[in-house]
């Protein structure tokens, strides 16, 4: 079993997948589209990746504001979640993604990635951070229950 993490943006979707032991998240790719409403090819690519990696569950970053309120992006994300669940038949869990893009940018800066190149990777790294946070919480909850 593997879990997929997604960072859903207006023109991109960062994709990460867990290892089979559900310990670590690895960045897979960034799916790009020309317009925000064009999701058919994005959904088709996500389905291909689900089959390739044998994904059984999806974690989708939920972009709440820093103060915890929800805006337009949250509504769009929830609509995307519904479409994903209908199309894939898999459970899709929302995960608070506040500050993941900031964290991804900081990580790349510390790794020496040039500013002009960071935009190319930020969504994939944000997807890794979303998925890794989910995996860590899941593992900690399981350990606490034992």
Tell me how many domains the chain contains: 1
CATH of the domain at 48: 3.30.420.140
100 pLDDT above the threshold of 80 = no
The Cα 79–Cα 82 span in angstroms is 5
pLDDT digits (tens, 9 = 90+) for 29-50: 999 998 877 899 999 999 999 9
User: Which of 34-43, 67-76, 80-89, 114-123 tops mean pLDDT?
Assistant: 80-89
Distances (CA, A) of 118 to 40, 65, 94, 108, 130: 27, 23, 25, 7, 18
Looking at residue 27, its pLDDT comes to: 94
Answer for the pair 72, 63: CB distance below 8 angstroms, yes or no.
no
- Predicted model pTM: 0.87
Look up the domain containing 57 and give its range: 2-145
Helix residue spans in the chain (DSSP H):
40-53, 72-88, 100-110, 115-118, 122-145
CA 98-34-4 angle, 5° bins: 45
């Amino acid at each position: 079993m593997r879990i997929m993490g997604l960072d859903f943006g207006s023109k991109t979707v960062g994709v990460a997948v867990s290892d089979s032991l559900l310990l670590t998240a690895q960045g897979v790719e960034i799916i790009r589209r020309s317009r925000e409403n064009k999701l058919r090819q994005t959904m088709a690519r996500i389905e291909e990746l689900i089959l390739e990696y044998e994904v059984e569950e999806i974690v989708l970053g939920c972009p709440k504001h820093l103060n915890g309120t929800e805006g337009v992006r949250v509504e769009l994300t929830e609509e995307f979640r519904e479409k994903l669940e209908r199309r894939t038949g898999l459970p899709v869990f929302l995960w608070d993604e506040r500050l993941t893009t900031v964290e991804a940018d900081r990580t790349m800066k510390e790794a020496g990635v040039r500013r002009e190149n960071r935009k190319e990777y930020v969504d994939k790294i944000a997807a890794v951070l979303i998925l890794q946070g989910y995996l860590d919480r899941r593992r900690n909850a399981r350990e606490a229950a034992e």
